[in-house]
Every structure is written in C-alpha cells, then in structure tokens.
Amino acid sequence: MTKHQKKFTYSVIGTGKTGGTILHELGENAVPFDEFNRPTADKLKQTDIAIIFVPGSAASEVIEIVLEAGIPSIWGTTGFVWPAELPERVKKAGARWIIGSNFSLSMNLVRKAIHILGKGSVLLANPEFHIHEVHHIQKQDSPSGTALSWRDWLGQEASISSDRQGDVIGIHNLHIKTPGESIYLKHEAHTRNIFAHGAIWAANYLLANPYIDPGVYQFQDIFDQAFKQLT
C-alpha cells in the first residue's frame, strides 16, 4: 500500500479457524466480532467492509445485521440455504455481497479444469465419477460445500463421499473411471492462509471496484471477471 492509498478497515465476523487467520493477516486494520463482541449495524458501519465466516446456524441473524449496516460483505458460510429473496434485498440495501464455498484462488483454476473434464467426458466409454473430500473433525457440514461445487462444475452425476480426520484443512479428489483407465484430479490445502488470502483479495477487489452494481455475486464470478482483466 502506498502512502496515497486509503487504509481500509474490516469487520471480521466469526473468529474460528479461517476467521482467526484473517484477523492475523489484517492485524490492526480488522475489528473482530464473535460471541464476546456481537456485531451490530452501528458497529459495522464504522468499517469499510465485512468478512464473515460464521456457521450456517448463525447466518440468518447475521444477514439481518449486515443488511441493516448496508456495507459490502464477503461470506464464507457453508451448510446454509441462502434465502431466495436475498439478492433483491441486498440490491435494495445498495450493498454488494460476495458468497463463496471456498476462497482459494487456485481452486478457481481447478474449476476451469473440472469444466473441461466434465464436458470432454462425453467422449469416454461409460465414465463413472466420484468425488471424495476430507476435512478436520470440527467441520459441521458434510459433504463440504466445495465438494458440492465440484459436482456442479463437473456437470455430471457423481457420487460424493466424506471423511473427517484430525485437523485436515481440506482435500478434494475427483476420480473419473472407465473400463480401461482412470483420471484423477486433486486439490489439497496445506494452510488456511489460502482461504484468508482469497477472502481478503475479494474484499479488496470490491473496495477497489466501486462501479460493481449492488447485488449478490458468487466468488467464482468475481474471479472470472478479474481473470479476464489479465488478458
């Protein structure tokens, strides 16, 4: 950041594994909110943007607070069914939200590869698709939001299996099997910093691009927009 750039402040709602990493990365520029310091609209309005990593069980309450605040927000909540009317409510609030099941920037490169594999698999003989995901034992939703996204990206019927082990950050495998061969694609997260960096990147992208219209955006769509700007 140069001396001429604005110094942004961030509300970080949810101080668990990923939220805690985000707080560490942002340092003094972040204001933490959890059960000991509950967020309110007035408190959130004192910051430029909110980064939210709360469990699905807490999402409904936080949604109302963030809507009232009207500030941009980044949502990493999984295991939650987003209300159908949410996009319209966010637009009316004049806010801009980004929602993602996985904020790894490299995962979006994987997404492009999965699209190719899914589309090209129609040329294979009787392909079968299986996705397996592994996460830490404290992860509440199963299968992971990322595994469900992989199946969507694949565009094919695929079975999904899950495992919970120790403090595994996240491993996702795709196996495409035919009678004569197998194709494997794997993504393994070695550190939660990748999710923190992706969420912070998304927040800074919104702040740096105020022309983006109010509404709800998927993280992958914002990534694709930024990717096009590179070419």
Q: Are 208 and 226 in contact (CB under 8 A)?
A: no
Of 24, 130, 132, 135, the catalytic one is 135
Tell me the average pLDDT across 128-140. 94
Please name each of the domains of the chain with its CATH number. Answer: 10-103+193-230 (3.40.50.720), 105-188 (3.30.360.10)
Residue 1 pLDDT > 80: no
Predicted local distance difference test score (pLDDT) of residue 145: 86
Of 24, 139, 177, 187, the catalytic one is 139
User: Does 139 qualify as catalytic in the annotation?
Assistant: yes
User: Does 132 qualify as catalytic in the annotation?
Assistant: no
Tell me the average pLDDT across 18-43. 94
Give the mean pLDDT of the chain: 93
Its sign, for the CA torsion 188, 97, 149, 52, is: positive
Residue 2 pLDDT > 80: no
- Region label for 31, one of left (φ > 0), alpha (ψ between -120 and 50) or beta (otherwise): beta
CA nearest 219: which of 120, 118, 78, 91?
78
pLDDT class of 6 with cuts at 50, 70, 90: low
Which residues are within 8 A (CB) of 230 and not within 5 positions of it... i.e. 6 or more apart? none
Q: Tens digit of pLDDT for each residue in 58-90?
A: 999 999 999 999 999 999 998 899 999 999 999
Which residues are within 8 A (CB) of 197 and not within 5 positions of it... i.e. 6 or more apart? 25, 103, 105
